[in-house]
Amino acid sequence: MLHAALLLASTRPTWPDILVFAAAAAVILVGAVGVVTSRNPVHAALSLVMTLFGVAVLFIEQQADFLAAVQIIVYAGAIVVLFLFVIMFLGVDRAEDINVEPLIGQRPLAFVFSVITLGGVLAMAATAHWVTGAQQVVGPIQGHVAGPNSPAGEPAQLGKQLFTTYLFAFEATAALLVIAVVGAVVLARRPPTVQADQEDTTESELSA
Amino acid sequence: MVHAAYLMLLFPLAGFLFLVAFGRRLGDPVAGWVGTIAVTAAFVVACMVLAGLIGLPADHRVVVHNYFTWFSSGGLSVPVGTLVDPLSMTMCMFVTGVSALIHLYSIGYMKSDRDYSKFFIYLNLFVFSMLLLVLANNLLLTFVGWEGVGVCSYWLVAFWFQRESAASAGKKAFIYNRIGDAGFLLAIFLIFEKTGTIQYESGPGGGIFGQLSHLGGGTATAAVLLLFLAATGKSAQIPLFNWLPDAMEGPTPVSALIHAATMVTAGVYLLCRMNPLLHLSTPGTVVIATIGAVTAFVAATIACAQQDIKKVLAFSTISQIGYMVLAVGSGAYIAAIFLMVCHAFFKGVLFLGAGSVIHGLEDEQDLKRMGALRRYMKWTTVTFTIGYLAIAGIPPLSGFWAKGDVLDNTFAHYKPLWVIGLVTAVLTAYYMSRLEILAFGGEPRFDQPGPHGEPPLHAPHESPWVMRLPLVVLAFFAFFGGVLDLPWVHTHNLESFLAPVFNGTLYNDNLAGGAEWALALTDIAAALAGVIVAAWLWRGAEVDKPALEPAFLQRVWYWDDFYDTIIGRPGQRLATFCAWVVDARVIDGAVNGTAHLVKVTGTAARKLQTGYARNYALGIALGMALIIAFMLSRTWWG
Amino acid sequence: MSLSGAWYLGLAAIVFTIGAIGLLVRRNVLIMFMCIELMLNAANLTFVTFARMLHDIGGQAVVFFVLVVAAAEVVVGLGIVVTNFRRRSTTVADDLDSLKG
């Protein structure tokens, strides 16, 4: 409903838009800085969640509702949880000293190159008036609001493209996921000898 | 029969191949007989071809055969074929004849040498090459034969290569020849460029001799001088003569065959063959004549002071070939050929006699240790003396007529050179008489210890019949060889036979009858003067006369030392420089330096691989920044 | 209408840079991974912005795939981290330098 209203409104940004953007941007930036400067990995993971939520808001702001939902569920809900899980599993949730830098010149040069890249990208984008490219190559973002059986709305459009234009990529990523799962299982498996010891320990504990 | 000239080439070649395959197994003396028979067969064929040639009318005596094409490239087509004419047949006759006799002699001389069969292999190959040189119908094939005799000469001079001096002598002979060969090749190139062919009489445009009008005066002189350079190398004239005395390190039959009768005459033959070209260049012929005369004189003076019997004969050969070259330069080609033929006879018998002496005295070659050999080696003495009288120019032996012809023609053209020639004749008689007296005359000295403490020698024995027979045959020809071209006979002699080759007009002995008699008497007087002076100076038992044998003459006018100083030492210094500076420091330095540079670069570049993933990530960030900067610059400044 | 796309793109660029700096400066492997996720998110934001500005659903489709691949990458990457931790008991990136030249 909000989208329909927005569509019918004028092209000039309204105050709610600006406010939402500013808030989301602040959240994102705080979270990003938090990830980079946290001493404790758990704090960093939580900052990352903050950033992901901010990005999801901005997705909704830009009429990518489905993606916002997927972002929350997959990124914040699965990936970051996996991060936390591994942190706890390895037991490395202690603070790390971030002031010492053993590699010579790493920090200054990192700053320099990154800032150059940032400045360059912004300058190029500004020169190109912020967008270049053909309009509507693949398909529209939102179809017309019509009868119950005709495609409409962003998820429907996304789905339509995924299963027609991008079908091959879709299937490939499915296979990729399977491979990743198999890889994870193989990588994280314990070696057999350690397992035998564990079983003995468990049995002796139970019998005692 | 005149069309079977190729058999002359095939017989020695077959002998060579047969001996290569089976010579070692056949051994001493069968291998020697095989070689001798091969060359004798060639001689028989030569006689038959000569008979066939004489059967043709006088102005048709040029028979050219092409057997196959060696190669054909661009405008040059080189056939393999023979040119049978009076000049080549004259050469073939005495080459095969003398070679056959020397092969026979070698059967006895080389007996019990451990490389017996190898000697005859080389000798047969030599005869083949010499005949190829003489019979070839184009310049390139002649050059093949030229090289062939050069390399056989190298092998044969260095036959006893275990001796350092023999190996060096072989190298020296070959290298001096090589310098002359460069001249030969350049002459061939020049002639081909101007005439478009290298065949003498046949081929496009009538061969070289049919197209001499294409050669201007300058080119002709250049070609003549280049060919003469080749001739000085092969025939041992100034400036390329000092290899011949050293070549006496080879066995005596080699000295007799190669360095007296055949190979050294190849240079003179080449000049005679190219006589139409020489006709075009007067400066060239003047140079040839002058060098011939000077060489004859210089060599004769040196021969007066030599103590080794073979060295005397070697310088004598240089001197006599100087006479031949003088004749060629004076336009008297037929006189040169006549002297060449007679020289083959008397120098052959002299060398073989010397070999007989050496063989009898158990390899002693020092004249000061010989003496009174006339009492022990009768055959050798008689034949050697005949040769001695011939070369000294005593009538009625062949040398008198031949040398007289040369001097007559020189008198007709270049009087100053005639004077030199006459003085040389005196010296020739002098040193040959000295040789005769020291070796065969006087009292025996070989039964006393030598000047360096060598033990006394036993009385010499005469040589076996295989060595005596060639001596007798050659002495016979040395005595009667003059009948080939007696001055008062004008038909059916060598002159009329050879005249068509030289267009007749090139042999002009237009002296009045009185002048001829006067010159003849002068020649006799010169010869007798030399003999008498030698007999008087060298009478008595005292043979050590340093006043008569100054070091200047003994050391070949210091010619070898001169070449050593201006060419040898600088060459060695250049070689040392190249080896130790250019090769060791520059080239090795560059190569090693490249390797070192790679190593240093690698060591430095290695520091990039720190092993830290974050450093590599920094590298990616750097690349990112560079790409962005580049794209930005393209966006703003095009 | 929402704000002009320029703002979103600028924000995305800044987040990307922050993530890049974090990746280069931090030594803990897990935090480096999180910085990578930051950079991926910035890219996603950019794609969605362009999709909106060009009225094209293709940009959102790409985001979809980026999401999936990022997930797979995290799975495998963390698996490697775990394996490495088992051998060396460290999560400091600087300790993994056995490929030093």
Residue of A nearest to B630 (CA): A120
| pLDDT for position A9 | 43
| pLDDT for position B504 | 52
Q: Do C101 and B621 touch (CB under 8 A)?
A: no
| pLDDT for position B509 | 57
SS3 B636: helix
Residue of B nearest to C101 (CA): B609
| pLDDT for position A157 | 82
| pLDDT for position A158 | 86
Nearby residues of B20 by Cβ (< 8 Å), 6 or more positions away = B121
Q: Do C21 and A158 touch (CB under 8 A)?
A: no
Give counts: helices (H), strands (E), chain C: 3, 0
Q: Are B416 and B330 in contact (CB under 8 A)?
A: no
Whether the CB of B486 is below 8 Å from some CB of chain C: the reply is no
Percent of chain B with pLDDT over 90: 44
Read off the tokens for B498.
């050879």
Q: Please check the confidence at residue B227 and state whether its pLDDT lies above 60.
A: yes
B220 alpha carbon, distance to own chain's centre: 24
Residue of A nearest to B613 (CA): A103
| pLDDT for position B518 | 84
Which DSSP category does B366 fall into?
Answer: B
Residue B472 class from Cβ within 10 Å (0-12 exposed, 13-18 middle, 19+ buried)? Answer: middle
Collect all residues of chain C within an 8 Å Cβ-Cβ radius of residue B609: 99-101
Which DSSP category does B199 fall into?
Answer: B
Considering only CB atoms, A106 lies closest to which of B614, B632, B635, namely B614
Q: Do C51 and A141 touch (CB under 8 A)?
A: yes
The mean per-residue pLDDT over the stretch B241-259 comes to: 89
Cα(B202)–Cα(B128) distance, integer angstroms: 23
| pLDDT for position B185 | 95
The mean per-residue pLDDT over the stretch B203-207 comes to: 70
In terms of Cα–Cα distance, which of B447, B186, B425 is closest to B319? B425
Read off the tokens for B251.
């066995």
Read off the tokens for A125.
């984008």
More confident residue, B230 or B497: B230
Cα(B441)–Cα(B541) distance, integer angstroms: 10
Is it true that the peptide bond before B239 is cis, omega within 30 degrees of 0? yes
Q: Are B110 and B363 in contact (CB under 8 A)?
A: no
Amino acid letter, B585:
R
In terms of Cα–Cα distance, which of B242, B271, B272, B247 is closest to B259? B247
Considering only CB atoms, B621 lies closest to which of C24, C97, C101, namely C24
| pLDDT for position A31 | 96
pTM of the model: 0.70
Q: What is the DSSP string of B35-64?
A: HHHHHHHHHHHHHHHHHHHHHS-GGG--EE
Extract the residue ranges of chain A whose pLDDT is less than 70: 1-11, 98, 142-152, 193-208
Cα(B5)–Cα(B256) distance, integer angstroms: 25
Of the listed ranges B20-29, B84-93, B324-333, the one predicted with least confidence: B20-29
Cα(B386)–Cα(B347) distance, integer angstroms: 11
Burial B365-379 (b: 16+ CB within 10 A, else e): bbbebbbbbbebbeb
Cα(B485)–Cα(B478) distance, integer angstroms: 13
Q: Provide the mean pLDDT of chain B.
A: 87
pLDDT band at C34; cut points 50, 70, 90: very high
- For residue B84, the cross-strand partners are B63
Of the listed ranges A71-80, B138-147, B481-490, the one predicted with least confidence: B481-490
Burial C43-62 (b: 16+ CB within 10 A, else e): bbbbbbbbbbbbebbbbbbb
Q: Do C60 and A12 touch (CB under 8 A)?
A: no
* Alpha-carbon distances of B405 from B130, B340, B491, rounded to whole Å: 26, 12, 16
pLDDT band at B512; cut points 50, 70, 90: low
Collect all residues of chain B within an 8 Å Cβ-Cβ radius of residue A123: 632
Cα(B289)–Cα(B517) distance, integer angstroms: 24
Q: Are A48 and C37 in contact (CB under 8 A)?
A: yes
Tokens 């360095």 found at:
B259
Q: Are B106 and B253 in contact (CB under 8 A)?
A: yes
Tell me whether 0.85 is exceeded by the ipTM: yes
Residue of A nearest to C58 (CA): A138
A 90-149 residues with CB < 8 A to C: 90, 92, 96, 98, 101-103, 106-107, 110-111, 114-115, 117-118, 121-122, 125-126, 130-131, 133-141
Pick the residue of C94, C95, C98 with the most B CBs within 10 A to test the interface with B by mutation: C94
Q: Please check the confidence at residue B514 and state whether its pLDDT lies above 60.
A: yes
Q: Do B628 and A120 touch (CB under 8 A)?
A: yes
More confident residue, B122 or A132: B122
Q: Are B352 and B471 in contact (CB under 8 A)?
A: yes
In terms of Cα–Cα distance, which of B269, B357, B359 is closest to B312? B357
Pick the residue of A130, A135, A157 with the most C CBs within 10 A to test the interface with C by mutation: A130
pLDDT in tens, A152-161: 677 888 888 8
Collect all residues of chain A within an 8 Å Cβ-Cβ radius of residue B625: 112-114, 116-117, 120
B226 alpha carbon, distance to own chain's centre: 16
| pLDDT for position A5 | 45
| pLDDT for position B494 | 78
Q: Please check the confidence at residue B53 and state whether its pLDDT lies above 80.
A: yes
| pLDDT for position A144 | 53
* Alpha-carbon distances of A61 from B344, B565, C9, rounded to whole Å: 122, 103, 14
Whether the CB of B21 is below 8 Å from some CB of chain C: the reply is no
The mean per-residue pLDDT over the stretch C66-75 comes to: 94
Whether the CB of B632 is below 8 Å from some CB of chain C: the reply is no
Collect all residues of chain B within an 8 Å Cβ-Cβ radius of residue C20: 621
| pLDDT for position A100 | 74
- For residue B78, the cross-strand partners are B71
- Closest-CA distance of chain B to residue A122, Å: 10
| pLDDT for position A151 | 56
The mean per-residue pLDDT over the stretch C26-45 comes to: 93
pLDDT band at B636; cut points 50, 70, 90: confident
pLDDT in tens, B556-615: 888 888 888 888 899 999 999 888 888 888 888 899 999 999 999 999 988 888 888 888
The mean per-residue pLDDT over the stretch B302-331 comes to: 92
Considering only CB atoms, B609 lies closest to which of C27, C94, C101, namely C101
Tokens 């962003």 found at:
A154
- For A174, other C-beta atoms within 10 Å of its C-beta total 11
